[in-house]
Amino acid sequence: MKIVVILAHPKKGSFNHAIANMVVETLEGVGHEVIYHDLYEESFDPILRSAEIPKGACVDDVISNHCNEIANADGIIIVHPNWWGQPPALLKGWIDRVIRPGVTYEFEENDSGEGVPIGLLKAKAAIVFNTSNTYHEREMNVFGDPLETIWKNCIFGLCGVNNFYRKMYGVIVTSTIEERKSWLDDVKETVIRYFPKEG
């Protein structure tokens, strides 16, 4: 299977990088083709400009490649920290520019954009791995876990990928080496569960 892996974390050596490395290593280990993007390393330009907004608009080569990859992916895995209950702005820009009309979703004919879109992604599953420094109970009760709604409903559900799994690891800042090792084991087990060995 062809799996797109997107990492958005600015610091090399972060736990997010460790998660992304484990994801790539695991996928390759069971025979999948991995298309990997470290958005900060690649200095991804997150600004969606006016001319690029309409369906069918001309996009630059970088965006065109991302669009082709995501449209043809059999699986999608996103890795990022919880920043203010949202993805880092760089990744938000990737969403704005790559999760485009005509590529990942479209509206029915005679629908000007007010209706319920039709998802176009053919990926069989999507996984989002997050990290945070908030205890689970506080995240659920005080903040309402906005990342779950953003990824599950607003993005993957809307684009037709209903086989969705998300995991938020934490608290990172006080975690022990043993906890981090067990979280990476969990990443590996999750990836194999959703994308088992080829053949």
Ligand X SMILES: Cc1cc2nc3c(=O)[nH]c(=O)nc-3n(C[C@H](O)[C@H](O)[C@H](O)COP(=O)(O)O)c2cc1C
The span from the CA of 187 to the CA of 149, in Å, is 21
Query: Any residues with CB less than 8 A from the CB of 107 and at least 6 apart, and which?
Result: 101, 113, 115, 117, 118
Q: Which is nearer to ligand X, 84 or 137 (CB)?
A: 84
Asked if 16 interacts with ligand X (CB under 6 A), we say: yes
Q: Which of 132, 145, 159, 161 binds ligand X (CB under 6 A)?
A: 132
Asked if 172 interacts with ligand X (CB under 6 A), we say: yes
The span from the CA of 28 to the CA of 199, in Å, is 13
Asked if 183 interacts with ligand X (CB under 6 A), we say: no
Smallest gap from Cβ 75 to ligand X, in A, equals: 22
Paired residues of 125 in beta bridges: 75
Asked if 21 interacts with ligand X (CB under 6 A), we say: no
How far from 169 is each of 29, 55, 158, 174, 198, CA to CA, in Å?
23, 36, 25, 12, 28
Asked if 82 interacts with ligand X (CB under 6 A), we say: yes
Q: Site for ligand X (CB under 6 A): how many residues?
A: 14
Asked if 14 interacts with ligand X (CB under 6 A), we say: yes
Q: Which amino acid is at 49?
A: R
Asked if 134 interacts with ligand X (CB under 6 A), we say: yes
Residues that bind ligand X (CB under 6 A): 9, 14-16, 81-85, 131-134, 172
